[in-house]
């Protein structure tokens, strides 16, 4: 059983309007039904979500998830435009659930983790995902606001190296949250909620300002030939 959710569909809908959004949804449904054929049944279960029920495919559950993501990652022609509507999927085998409700819950857990990894990917359910179950969203938002006020965020830098001569040509700035109770948290653990709550704007501004300031310091203290 798989749950498929289109990433950032709200942005697509805002850009394309009702008619454009409906066209993309219909195109995704068409791709799914044609590709899966008699292997599975496809249902629309929400505004931008689909469920796929496949029989006798437990051994290839992970492959099914990848196949679904690849189908959505391909561009969609819309008039004179080319539209991209990547999706995330959560997949679970029937042997991992005692009843239909648990099957649905496990697929949702896998889908949430796929979203936390940045989207446009598939995640297969496993027992360890129970630890990543959605917590108190209100408390998380309060923690994020406090983290901004207290500057609990850090920017780490990963060098970008030129292959030919192994010289450092730049750096990728990577955000980390020094949570007072949970330790160092990766972006996948807080960015999705920051995007949903709108705090991503303030967090992004912090990261840009910190990276620019650090770059200025490097140029001052370690001057190099241009």
Residue 48 bears catalytic tag: yes
Tokens 């027992």: give the residue. 127
For 121-207, list the strands marked E by DSSP. 122-124, 153-161, 168-179, 183-185
- 69, 75, 78, 83: CA torsion to nearest 10: 80
For the chain, the residue count is 226
Quote the CA–CA distance of 23 and 142 in Å, as a whole number. 38
β-strand partners of 90? 3, 123
- The pair of structure tokens assigned to 120 is 């446009």
Q: Which of 5, 7, 30, 48 is catalytic?
A: 48
With CA atoms as reference, report the closest residue to 154 among 190, 119, 118.
190
Which residues carry out catalysis?
48
């Amino acid at each position: 059983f798989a749950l498929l959710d289109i990433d950032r569909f709200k942005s697509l809908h805002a850009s394309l309007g009702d008619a454009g959004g409906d066209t993309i949804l219909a195109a995704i449904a068409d791709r799914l039904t044609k590709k899966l054929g008699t292997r599975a049944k496809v249902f629309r279960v929400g505004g931008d979500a689909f469920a796929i029920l496949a029989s006798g495919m437990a051994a290839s559950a992970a492959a099914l998830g990848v196949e679904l993501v690849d189908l959505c990652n391909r561009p969609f022609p819309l008039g004179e435009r080319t539209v991209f509507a990547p999706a995330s999927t959560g997949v679970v085998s029937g042997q991992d659930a005692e009843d239909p409700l648990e099957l649905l819950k496990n697929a949702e857990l896998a889908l949430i983790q796929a979203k936390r990894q940045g989207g446009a990917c598939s995640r297969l359910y496993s027992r360890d995902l129970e630890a990543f179950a959605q917590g108190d969203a209100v408390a998380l938002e309060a923690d994020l606001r406090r983290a901004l006020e207290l500057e609990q965020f850090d920017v780490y830098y990963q060098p970008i190296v030129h292959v030919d001569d192994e010289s450092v040509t730049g750096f990728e700035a990577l955000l980390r949250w020094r949570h007072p109770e949970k330790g160092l948290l990766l972006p996948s653990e807080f960015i999705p909620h920051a995007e949903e709550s709108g705090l991503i704007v303030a967090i992004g501004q912090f990261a840009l300002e910190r990276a620019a300031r650090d770059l200025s310091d490097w140029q001052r203290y370690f001057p190099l030939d241009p």
